[in-house]
Structure 1
Amino acid sequence: MDFPDVKQLYMYRPPNEFTTKILETMKLWASKPGAFNDPFDCDLDVAGRITEADVLHAATTEHGHRSQWPADIRRFIDSILDENGQFTQAERDRLDREIELLIDDNRNSGVICLSEVNDSILMWSHYACNHTGICIEFERTPNNALGDIEIASPVNYSSVYPHIDLGKMLVHRDGQTLDLMLRYKADCWSYEKEWRVFRDLGNAPSPLVSRITKVIFGLRTPTPYRQVIQSWCDARGIRTVQAAKVNWTFKLDIPV
């Protein structure tokens, strides 16, 4: 399992009916990237169009020199290039249409956001409504979705805005080029230590990514809401703990 030291991932939640519904239904909400609070997040830029050189490079990377290309590959390349070595109009239209469909698929995908940390004062303030909400702990093992790096992986924080390299997409035809673009954020967010899980459909409920092992109450979780969450956790056999201030320092104490 990649990142074996990361054995739990966390979701900060405000004290509302949507949070309660997670424990009622044991499902999560997978948001579309466009719903994120950062307008730069997942806003993909395409660096130019696929060129004829990109196609030839992809074929060479996979099959070697042209003399070694399988007959079907040679026929395909010859069919999409004219006598001047340029794309036929039909091929140019097809490529542009396929790229647009790929980008649309990513924009309409579902994203579940988690964090490596459960004691971030900022995230308790921002995402758990000024420490009045909860933080849900999910188990990460080699045998569940969170332990599969192709399903759940950490966000890359960067000061450089990412672009889609369409030529690279031809060489790596597994969708990873686009997926990586959805895992880039400005480095000012690095304190979140975010992980993302992708689903095919956004703005839709999704099965739990793994077993819930603990629910943490915030410093200010109201008693009535705490009682509602506690009843659901008791019914599900989920342990609950209370966050506390650490004396004389800006830290939270979260029971293990």
Structure 2
Amino acid sequence: MLLYKYRSAMGSADNDNTRRIFSSSSLYYAKASTFNDPFDAQVNVEPNSSRAEAIDRHWLILRERARGRGGFIDSVQGTHSNATFNIERIYDKVLNDTHIDHDRYYRDMIDSFGIVSLAENPDNLLLWAHYATNHYGMCLGFEWDETGLPPAEEVIYQNRYRTLEYYSHTEAELAAISLLQKSADWAYEREWRSVAKPEMEYNSSFAPDEHYERELEGLRSNPSQSPYYSEEQLKEKYTFLVGNVTVEGSGPKVFNQSALKEVVFGMRMSQSDVIDHINAIESYGFKPKFFQARKNPKRYQVDIHEL
């Protein structure tokens, strides 16, 4: 599917943002906090929960996931330890008196993802005006499945924030829900988004708690009743994979040059600038088809003509 990126014209400087799309074959994935709409990625995060409430709720979710993997019976106590460990990690980051500041944790988590905004077509008058420097810029058409970048999904437009049951979702699920919805006022954009996840490094962390101590005490007091269950196995039960972000989802991401299929120049771009842009784009190794938008003589629309 062809998806389009409206951009300003290339500047002469090497660090010009549009020029870098071609010079480095990359698109920039932005953080949601840098978007022009403060309502972007806005959801209703469940009201503050106490530590105990959060653990109990998260435990139920983990139990259901364990049931789906066929390990429900054996994992009940383990999932409670896992839930406790997960919540304690969140508390370490966002503890506010005795409650979790969900909104703060949510904002920080969302900003570890990166987003590229795209459009369905190259003839949207408002997008030309807003994102292509009043028709002086250009519109880049990508065969998105060929870019090698994260898949693009259609944005959902609605009038009310979506309410999330916070501990029912992974961080990736929360990002997918919130970053793919916007106010209905933006529906004219017919936007698609490619969302890049942060790269994570996982390390094992032994996290004993009162459940571990209780089991360990029982194991040591009655070793004959647990001949097949060693202290080492018990330790493994309370060892979890802890993820840390090594590469943020935001930043430039390289795409395959052949995925750029079209470049449409704005109706106000001069012919000399069009020629300069074609020469520059081809000098960077790209071979798209070139077009220019022209004002329709009878209707409020632009017509796209191949050069």
| TM-score for both structures, normalised by structure 2 | 0.66
Equivalent residue for 2:178, pick from 152, 163, 181: 181
Superposed, 1:213-228 pairs within 5 Å as 213-228=261-276
Instruction: Give, in angstroms, the shift of residue 120 of structure 1.
Output: 0.4
Give the share of equivalent positions with the same residue, in percent. Answer: 25
| 1:51 equivalent in structure 2 | 54
Q: Which amino acid is 2:120 matched to?
A: E
| 1:137 equivalent in structure 2 | 141
Instruction: Give, in angstroms, the shift of residue 161 of structure 1.
Output: 1.4
Superposed, 1:26-41 pairs within 5 Å as 26-41=25-40
SS in 1 for 2:18: helix
| TM-score for both structures, normalised by structure 1 | 0.77
Q: Check the 8 A contact 1:158/1:187 in 2, yes or no.
A: yes
For structure 2, which runs of at least 5 residues remain unmatched after alignment?
A: 12-16, 94-101, 199-247
Q: Deviations over 1:32-76 (max 9, x none)?
A: 111111111124542134635523532453355xxx833233244
Distance in 2 between residues matched to 1:209 and 1:96, nearest whole Å: 41
Aligned length: 233
| 1:119 equivalent in structure 2 | 123
Q: Deviations over 1:186-240 (max 9, x none)?
A: 0110111111112233552211277100100111013443233110233322211
Q: Check the 8 A contact 2:30/2:114 in 1, yes or no.
A: yes
Superposed, 1:1-256 pairs within 5 Å as 7-17=1-11, 18-48=17-47, 49=49, 51-63=54-66, 69-77=72-80, 79=81, 92-97=87-92, 103-141=107-145, 144-145=147-148, 151-169=151-169, 173=170, 175-199=172-196, 200=198, 201=248, 204-208=251-255, 211-235=259-283, 236-255=286-305
SS in 2 for 1:254: strand
Instruction: Give, in angstroms, the shift of residue 248 of structure 1.
Output: 0.9
How has the CA–CA distance of structure 1 residues 54 and 161 changed in structure 2, closer, same or farther, with 3 Å as cutoff?
Answer: same
Distance in 2 between residues matched to 1:76 and 1:140, nearest whole Å: 40
Structure showing greater Rg: 2
Q: Which amino acid is 2:192 matched to?
A: W
Instruction: Give, in angstroms, the shift of residue 13 of structure 1.
Output: 0.6
SS in 2 for 1:38: coil
Higher relative contact order (CA 8 A, sep 6+): 1
Instruction: Give, in angstroms, the shift of residue 101 of structure 1.
Output: 5.8
Q: Check the 8 A contact 2:54/2:87 in 1, yes or no.
A: no
How has the CA–CA distance of structure 1 residues 198 and 118 changed in structure 2, closer, same or farther, with 3 Å as cutoff?
Answer: same
Q: Which has the higher strand share?
A: 2
> RMSD in angstroms over aligned alpha carbons?
3.0
How has the CA–CA distance of structure 1 residues 80 and 208 changed in structure 2, closer, same or farther, with 3 Å as cutoff?
Answer: closer
Q: Check the 8 A contact 1:163/1:181 in 2, yes or no.
A: no
Q: Check the 8 A contact 1:33/1:108 in 2, yes or no.
A: no
SS in 2 for 1:214: strand
Q: Check the 8 A contact 1:20/1:229 in 2, yes or no.
A: no
User: Bigger shift: 39-48 or 188-197?
Assistant: 39-48
Q: Check the 8 A contact 2:125/2:301 in 1, yes or no.
A: yes
Q: Check the 8 A contact 1:164/1:181 in 2, yes or no.
A: no
Q: Which amino acid is 1:138 matched to?
A: F
Distance in 2 between residues matched to 1:46 and 1:97, nearest whole Å: 19
Distance in 2 between residues matched to 1:34 and 1:103, nearest whole Å: 8
How has the CA–CA distance of structure 1 residues 119 and 45 changed in structure 2, closer, same or farther, with 3 Å as cutoff?
Answer: same
Distance in 1 between residues matched to 2:135 and 2:288, nearest whole Å: 20
How has the CA–CA distance of structure 1 residues 97 and 120 changed in structure 2, closer, same or farther, with 3 Å as cutoff?
Answer: farther
For structure 1, which runs of at least 5 residues remain unmatched after alignment?
A: 1-6, 82-86
Q: Which amino acid is 2:64 matched to?
A: T
